[in-house]
Amino acid sequence: MPQVITNLKSFTVETFQNLVDRESAEANIEATVELAAASPEGLYYFMQRYAHFNGFAGSLVARLASSIGLSRDLFNQPGIPVVDRADRGLDIAAKVLAATIDEHADSGAQQVTHRTLAQATMQAIGDYAGLSDLQCNQIAQTPEWMNDIITDLVSGYQGKIGDLQALVTAVGFHIGSELLADREYSLIDKVVRHNNRGVGFDRYLQGKQVEIGGKRLSPWYWIVVHGKHNSTGVEAEHCQLAIDALNAIVEYRPESAATILEWASTGFIAFAQLQQRLFFQSKIELQTLKTRRLLESGAMGTLGSMNATFTSGDIHRTHALN
């Protein structure tokens, strides 16, 4: 938990960056993506898990914004004596809702959803890996560890109508999602494209487009619109808006800034821990997949065995045996 801050006027990105060990967290992310990028099949496994996790974001952010808006009587501007003119809950909700507008209709990609953009990315990687529809569906069988992570993701974003502490904690969770995702996507772009310029999947993507729902889409746009190597994407903007929402809560509530920060920090740290679980479990899955492929190759003595695909259930059961 952060120390109590006196004379605190507003929160910034740095307020929350200092709550986590960024160097260690980013090293874990980068190591996981490097392991994934080492093989086409591994890259598909990783991206399927990552896209599955992020596919809930738009709906969860919208629900949080709705919960804040439905609690508008909690947030009132001081100095306005008429109750019906004082509530500012929807102003706060709008700053949270901004993130989900892009999720549901990206202005830079023919107004398609970010879920559709993620599907374009996965389709391109699946084609690159030579995976059949059956193999893709086998990989899509959600392992138990992922179900647990999604349960905690939904819970963290939940908030509760009329419950100030729960709403502020959820806003902190949202800030964590936006702030940390900016670096996630940037590191994915760095490892998969920048570090492997002109080879592997980067070479495969040159001039490539994917058609989904009658629209031709760039298969890597989903990554770079959120965060790009040596640059930022929409996540940085969404993060600032989420912090603006938290500052507005301080303005429209009698609680101290230190109290609001304590509640928000609880949510932020919860998301940071969830993020690390996602990448840690993905790394274990990729390591298990790599080991299975090496064992197959040695047993069969042919390169063809490297193309066989185990289901995610097989890999999960291997974890249990270990």
Cα distance between residue 311 and residue 141, in whole Å? 7
- DSSP single-letter state for residue 106: -
Superfamily, domain 13-280: Heme oxygenase-like (1.20.910.10)
Positive or negative torsion for Cα 124, 130, 134, 135: negative
> Reduced to 3 states, what is the DSSP secondary structure of residue 96?
helix
Phi and psi torsions of 95, nearest 5°:
-70, -30
Q: How far is CA 297 from CA 37, 213, 243, 307, in A?
A: 19, 39, 51, 10
* pLDDT in 10s for each residue of the chain, 322 residues: 444 343 456 999 999 999 999 999 999 999 999 999 999 999 999 999 999 999 999 999 999 999 999 999 999 999 999 999 999 999 999 999 999 998 888 888 888 999 999 999 999 999 999 999 999 999 999 999 999 999 999 999 999 999 999 999 999 999 999 999 999 999 999 999 999 999 999 999 999 999 998 899 999 999 999 988 988 888 889 999 999 999 999 999 999 999 999 999 999 999 999 999 999 999 999 999 999 999 988 754 544 444 444 445 545 444 443 3
* DSSP notation for 173-202: HHHHHHHHHHHHHHHHHIIIIITTTTSHHH
Question: What is the helix (H) or strand (E) element at residue 210, kind and residue range?
Answer: strand 210-212
List the domain boundaries for the chain: 13-280
From its phi and psi, is residue 81 left (phi > 0), alpha (psi between -120 and 50) or beta?
alpha
pTM tops 0.85: yes
